[in-house]
Structure 1
Amino acid sequence: MSSDQQRSVEMRAHWKSLLAMTLVSLSSFQYGLDFGIIGGLQAMVPFLQVYGYEDPTVPVGYNISSERQQLISSLMVLGSFISSSSAGFSASNPVQLRASLHTHWPVGSLIGTVVDNFAAKIPHRGAYIIPLGIIHIVPGILAIGLLFIPESPRWLAANGQTQKAERSLRWLRPQEWSVGEELGEMNAALKAERQLQAKVGYSELFRNPIDRRRTTVAVLTLTTQAASGAMFVIAFGTYFFEMANVGNAFENACILTGVGVAALLANSFIITRYGRRRRLMITGLLLCGLMQLIMAIVYTVEPGTQRSGKILVGLSVIYIVAYNGLIAPYAWVSGGELPSQRLRSRMLPLNGSSRQLRTWLTTFTAPYFINPEALNWGPKYGYIWAPSCVIAALWIYFFLPEVKGRSLEEIDEMFEARVPARKFASYRCTGQHAVVEKVETEHCEKA
């Protein structure tokens, strides 16, 4: 049986598990939909007539205050915590089937942008009321659908409800599945996890130089997403195009988002075959920085002209391909690979929360720079993000280890040996990491 046929059989056998996971993962889809729709509303004339003010100096004749934009963007970022609800239930899904369920956010963002594109042509309040109504569809589906699927078996087992966990697994798995064996493995893993967490606190992330290095590198690797300036393009892309007078801002935003989704999907085939994190992320950051710099220069020389508008759209497309194809996925991968296994349960929440803080900071400050009533930089905002991209690329070159093709044990050994980041790719492991790690762990426990 070929691998494609085997995958098809697995998908059919685990249809209940996939159904449950897909339903819960709609929360991530909803987050993307929110970003796509809410970002476009700020460029709709009917919306601006109600929530903004008349301004004959801007291309559409109306504008919105930067303070109101900051409030909208801040509340949107709070929705990111909703998307994390799928994390717990993903543990219920077979490992080999999880990867296909993480494209919900970009697809949701694309659909939201397309909805805005069609709604923007409506000349009355329905232009923004219809998209806002569509936002409530997914929460309605979730509210009803969650009544018919069981609780996560891992959560039930972790809370001592073993019988309910077994019933949940029997509902999720095929009839011939060895539920008892899986439940036993789950309980053993949970027991080991509880024992480890009882001995490990958040202070352990920074207590010794090795763990401190791993924690710092993991957090700063995810920081490269914010350092590229992508969140202001994602959250305010349509408004950005509208104020820059580039033509049909909504159609251009659809093109930009669609190309970004295509780049993200294409990357799923590249990451397993090539996957050189350092090289790809450095290339992506330098491309993003170059595009931002050229956009800023063009808009400085020819602000608001038709030619500069076309150049702006073209450069934005290249920019989003570089970000979605070369930066975003590898930052997540590296941020997950680098933490110590002993501290992973503490490191991942820290990584996620710090990323949301950086996302909030970017989206909160962007209106102050691009809104005509404030600094009115528009595309000249790139003068800030271009050097930011270069600094991030230099940081990756000097500090981010290349761990492609390395096992978690090999990564542990290289960190224990204090191998410089640029030598990780060529370092030959000796297999002594287990002894060193055991000594370090015992030392920490005694301390």
Structure 2
Amino acid sequence: MRSQTPTMLCYKWTVFPMFFSNTMSSMNEKIEVNHVEQEEDGNSQMSSTARENTILHDARKATEEEHALSAKQALKDYKPAIFWSMVMSGTILMEAYDSILISSLFAYPSFQKRYGKEISPGSYQITGPWQSALGCGSSIGIIIALAFNGVLVEKYGHRKIIIVSLFFMAAFIFVTVFAKNVEMLFVGQILNGFPWGFFSVIGLIYASEVAPLPLRGFLSAYVMMCWATGQLIAAGVLKAMLNDTTQWAYRLPFAIQWVWIPPIFVLTLLSPDSPYWLVRKGRVEEAEKSLKRLSSKSIHPNIKRKLKLLIHTNELEMKQASEFDDRFKGWKSYVECFKGPNRRRTEIACMSIAGQVLGGNNFAYSPSYFFSQVGLNSTQTYNLNLGITGLAWVGTFVSWFIAGKVGRRKIYITGIFFMTLFLLLIGVLQTPADNNPSVAWAQVGCTFAWVVSFVLTLAPLAYTITSEVSSTRLRSQSIAIGRNAYNLCQLTAQVVEPYFINPGNLGLKGRTGFIWFGTSFLTLIWAIFRLPETKDRTYEELDILFERKVPLTKFASYKLDINDENEIVSEIK
């Protein structure tokens, strides 16, 4: 046996033990690290589960608080939300103002002389084709703007889009005020339509996202109040300029639109962003600050729960769409509006608001030309038209109280039923009116009855339903699609309506009511079989109801057990 040298012994008893010790130490460290990593993974999973449970618990609690909140208490606790919602919706005044301005100016001698054609010595008229073009000009701009609205608003937010639109609005007004010919005026109308397209839906989107559940119907219906107010202001301005024979008879009404741009601009700068939009952008801390700005200090202790409800609603809708990040970006988000449960929601958004046109508003809500064709003089026609505008304002105010007590579905169906009935009566009365001019006043009475039915039901409620029925992540896109459905119907009606009534064309006079009776009746049938009840439902609950394809007759009575942990997510996994 070979003897071991001192060097070998030293290596054996010093180096090897050190190597063994280091190796074991390294192995122990790896085991400890793996153990720590496993503990961290376990803690992370537990932390994630705890977070989900916390969000779910607070979301349930916030849902209970929303349902328990009365309208009176909501008015007290959410005064800032009401104010800022009214500010954003106030932009619609400008579109509403112009909606009756341009058509009314056709009868002004100074406007006719400037932009019309001399048909006899000293007599000027705006030709039929140019009347149609000027009437449709703004609609062209609005339709184009709405196509971009969903993408731009979702990317940059409501406030920034309104501020930029106001800048363009201020510039485009110069074109209409100082238009040298009818072609330039037509271009001005199209250009003004671009900012109006954004104004027409942003206020509605914002109102639907900042309003508490009891006030959601009021603040979305306020859009119709803005329409009526804008038209009432326009009627007053036109009356004041009626005897003015100078160029300012038509320039000043256009120029007045500059007046409300500065206050709306300043208030929009000061307004908070929509908390729903901030949550969708992942800016949760800013969303919490926004919620506090939209409510009184007395409920700030509950803001965390409200925020959790917004977060949970957003996560719920993200789970409903696979490959979310790819399908909800840019223009692809419009395609998503026509897939799965969103297809039904988009249909309702389109039909509920297009029902205003299909229900005959181009004929009965703006009846000046119709009244003149059944034998009323210009003074009677103007006074009746002014009365209808005032009636629309009062009726919209009254509709708030009805909407607070009665379901959306019942109001809509009742309204379209009576509108259909009065259109039929107007048509039937035309035959005796041809032989007895006094019967025309019966047609006027039916027209006023139609207006009452309209302003109490479809006029304000269409905006409420359109804003409620869409998912929060696709709200900008859904409302834009719905409003464009309305605009396309409106554009068609603006083209064909003069041909129905004009004595140089079909000359139907009151029999035009038969045509709109047909479209209104079809809208009634649609509402009976397709329109669900959305009143008193949170957006989270509506997401679940549409995902489960709940029959429309059960929308109002369907029970959601908010205490069941799996209730919210079981249907979308």
TM-score for both structures, normalised by structure 2 = 0.61
1:171-182 superposed matches below 5 A:
none
Instruction: Name the structure 1 match of 2:406.
Output: 274
Deviations 1:316-351 (A, max 9, x none): 211111111122333333334444567656533332
- SS of corresponding position for 2:424: helix
Shift of the 271–53 alpha-carbon distance from structure 1 to 2, 3 Å rule, reads same
Instruction: Name the structure 1 match of 2:94.
Output: 30
Conserved in 1, the CA contact under 8 Å of 2:345 and 2:470?
yes
**Is 1:47 aligned with 2:111?**
yes
In 1, the alpha carbon distance for the partners of 2:557 and 2:85 equals 40
Instruction: Name the structure 1 match of 2:145.
Output: none
Shift of the 276–376 alpha-carbon distance from structure 1 to 2, 3 Å rule, reads same
1:149-188 superposed matches below 5 A:
149=270, 152=273, 185=307
Conserved in 2, the CA contact under 8 Å of 1:288 and 1:319?
yes
Cα drift, residue 277 of structure 1 = 1.7
Cα drift, residue 225 of structure 1 = 1.7
Deviations 1:243-286 (A, max 9, x none): 444232211111011112211111100111122524x3233223
**Is 1:395 aligned with 2:556?**
no
Instruction: Name the structure 2 match of 1:105.
Output: 227
Shift of the 283–63 alpha-carbon distance from structure 1 to 2, 3 Å rule, reads farther
Cα drift, residue 166 of structure 1 = 9.2
- SS of corresponding position for 2:260: helix
Instruction: Name the structure 1 match of 2:488.
Output: 357
Cα drift, residue 377 of structure 1 = 3.3
Instruction: Name the structure 1 match of 2:131.
Output: 69
Deviations 1:353-385 (A, max 9, x none): 323332333234323333444444343322210
- Greater Cα radius of gyration, structure 1 or 2: 2
Instruction: Name the structure 2 match of 1:317.
Output: 448
Q: Which has the higher helix share?
A: 2
In 2, the alpha carbon distance for the partners of 1:157 and 1:409 equals 14
In 2, the alpha carbon distance for the partners of 1:165 and 1:412 equals 21
- SS of corresponding position for 1:219: helix
In 1, the alpha carbon distance for the partners of 2:468 and 2:206 equals 21
In 2, the alpha carbon distance for the partners of 1:5 and 1:402 equals 24
**How many residue pairs were aligned?**
428
Shift of the 312–38 alpha-carbon distance from structure 1 to 2, 3 Å rule, reads farther
1:329-340 superposed matches below 5 A:
329-339=460-470
User: Which amino acid in structure 1 is aligned with residue 401 of structure 2?
Assistant: F
Conserved in 2, the CA contact under 8 Å of 1:206 and 1:215?
yes
Shift of the 420–88 alpha-carbon distance from structure 1 to 2, 3 Å rule, reads closer
Deviations 1:56-77 (A, max 9, x none): 9xxxx87533322222222233
In 2, the alpha carbon distance for the partners of 1:430 and 1:188 equals 19
Cα drift, residue 106 of structure 1 = 1.4
1:21-420 superposed matches below 5 A:
22-53=86-117, 63-77=125-139, 78=142, 79-87=196-204, 90=207, 95=212, 99=218, 102=223, 103-143=225-265, 145=266, 149=270, 152=273, 185=307, 192=315, 198=325, 200=328, 201-208=333-340, 210-234=341-365, 236-247=366-377, 248=379, 249-275=381-407, 277-278=409-410, 280-303=411-434, 306-339=437-470, 344=475, 346-405=477-536, 415=546, 418=549, 420=551
In 1, the alpha carbon distance for the partners of 2:566 and 2:304 equals 30
Shift of the 239–220 alpha-carbon distance from structure 1 to 2, 3 Å rule, reads same
- SS of corresponding position for 1:84: helix
In 1, the alpha carbon distance for the partners of 2:534 and 2:272 equals 36
Conserved in 2, the CA contact under 8 Å of 1:36 and 1:108?
no
Conserved in 2, the CA contact under 8 Å of 1:39 and 1:237?
no
In 2, the alpha carbon distance for the partners of 1:398 and 1:178 equals 43
User: Which amino acid in structure 1 is aligned with residue 404 of structure 2?
Assistant: T
In 1, the alpha carbon distance for the partners of 2:345 and 2:115 equals 46
TM-score for both structures, normalised by structure 1 = 0.75
Cα drift, residue 306 of structure 1 = 4.7
Deviations 1:207-248 (A, max 9, x none): 44x5444433443233322210214544x4334434444232
In 2, the alpha carbon distance for the partners of 1:121 and 1:377 equals 32
- SS of corresponding position for 1:302: helix
User: Which amino acid in structure 1 is aligned with residue 270 of structure 2?
Assistant: I
**Is 1:424 aligned with 2:554?**
yes
Conserved in 2, the CA contact under 8 Å of 1:205 and 1:343?
yes
Instruction: Name the structure 1 match of 2:28.
Output: none
Conserved in 1, the CA contact under 8 Å of 2:533 and 2:555?
yes
Instruction: Name the structure 1 match of 2:150.
Output: none
In 2, the alpha carbon distance for the partners of 1:105 and 1:347 equals 21
Instruction: Name the structure 2 match of 1:445.
Output: none
Equivalent pairs: percent with the same residue?
A: 24
- Which stretch of the first structure deviates more once superposed, 256-265 or 109-118? 109-118
Cα drift, residue 104 of structure 1 = 1.7
Conserved in 1, the CA contact under 8 Å of 2:418 and 2:453?
yes
Conserved in 1, the CA contact under 8 Å of 2:94 and 2:230?
yes
Conserved in 2, the CA contact under 8 Å of 1:51 and 1:64?
yes
In 2, the alpha carbon distance for the partners of 1:181 and 1:66 equals 58
In 2, the alpha carbon distance for the partners of 1:165 and 1:343 equals 18
In 2, the alpha carbon distance for the partners of 1:111 and 1:122 equals 18
